[in-house]
């Protein structure tokens, strides 16, 4: 008779994601993962695979949540400027509330691993492309409705705004100052009028 698992895989993965998010991939050991998730090393391996597999699963979980959040914000029935201001403001609020200054898990993965880990790089490209496509579709509709300038293609605007958002997650680690982040957001969103 097969034994049933005596733990919640989703909760264990959420805890692993938190540990990787806090410390990064390299600084997290399998022993720490096991202790943090409450699993034995053998249960961790049997459920998720090796440390790299656990990391990829955690990255996928974060990507899915972040993409869903962006999709929900962009589908709100309000003017695009208001939507984007709210998106930047929500991000700033989240970054300022995070006393550990973890920033963005996806951005942290890009900085730490993307240049030398093809699986991480591929997942991040897919993730940023997915978000950019959502943004571009919303911006295209806004341009068609006369809400914003048509000087730039929606895809170019989306690319610029996407990395403007992620730059805030970098800035907060060096300049944990709300006013600086808000000024940067205002300058970034000014592209809508150019």
pLDDT in tens, 123-162: 999 999 999 999 999 999 999 999 999 999 999 999 999 9
What dihedral angle (degrees, nearest 10) is formed by the CA atoms of 42, 47, 48, 51?
A: -10
Asked whether residue 23 carries a pLDDT value surpassing 90, the answer given is: yes
Question: To the nearest whole percent, how much of the chain has pLDDT over 90?
Answer: 75
pTM of the model: 0.88
Asked whether residue 5 carries a pLDDT value surpassing 60, the answer given is: no
Gap between the Cα atoms of 35 and 20, Å rounded: 13
Average of per-residue pLDDT across 157-169: 94
pLDDT in tens, 27-39: 999 999 999 888 8
Gap between the Cα atoms of 135 and 129, Å rounded: 10
Gap between the Cα atoms of 128 and 122, Å rounded: 10
DSSP 134: H
pLDDT of residue 29: 92
Asked whether residue 51 carries a pLDDT value surpassing 90, the answer given is: yes
pLDDT in tens, 88-131: 999 999 999 987 678 889 999 999 999 999 999 999 999 999 99
Distances (CA, A) of 60 to 52, 54, 56, 140, 142: 12, 10, 6, 28, 30
Q: How confident is the model at residue 191 (pLDDT cuts 50, 70, 90)?
A: very high
pLDDT of residue 155: 96
pLDDT of residue 7: 61
Q: How confident is the model at residue 4 (pLDDT cuts 50, 70, 90)?
A: very low
Question: To the nearest whole percent, how much of the chain has pLDDT over 70?
Answer: 96
DSSP 149: -
pLDDT of residue 101: 79
């Amino acid at each position: 008779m097969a034994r049933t698992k005596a733990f919640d895989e989703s909760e264990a993965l959420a805890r692993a994601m938190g540990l990787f998010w806090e410390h990064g991939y390299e600084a997290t050991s399998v022993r720490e993962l096991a202790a943090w998730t409450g699993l034995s090393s053998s249960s961790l391996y049997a459920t998720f695979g090796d440390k790299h597999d656990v990391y990829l699963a955690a990255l996928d979980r974060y990507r899915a949540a972040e993409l869903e959040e962006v999709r929900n914000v962009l589908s709100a029935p309000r003017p695009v400027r208001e939507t984007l201001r709210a998106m930047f403001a929500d991000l700033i609020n989240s970054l300022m509330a995070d006393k550990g200054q973890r920033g963005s898990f996806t951005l942290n993965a890009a900085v730490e691993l993307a240049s030398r880990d093809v699986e991480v790089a591929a997942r991040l490209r897919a993730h940023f492309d997915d978000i950019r496509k959502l943004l571009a579709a919303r911006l295209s509709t806004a341009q068609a409705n006369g809400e914003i300038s048509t000087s730039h293609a929606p895809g170019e605007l989306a690319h610029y705004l996407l990395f403007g958002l992620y730059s805030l997650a970098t800035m907060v680690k060096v300049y944990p100052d709300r006013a600086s982040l808000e000024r940067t957001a205002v300058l970034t969103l000014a592209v809508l009028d150019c």
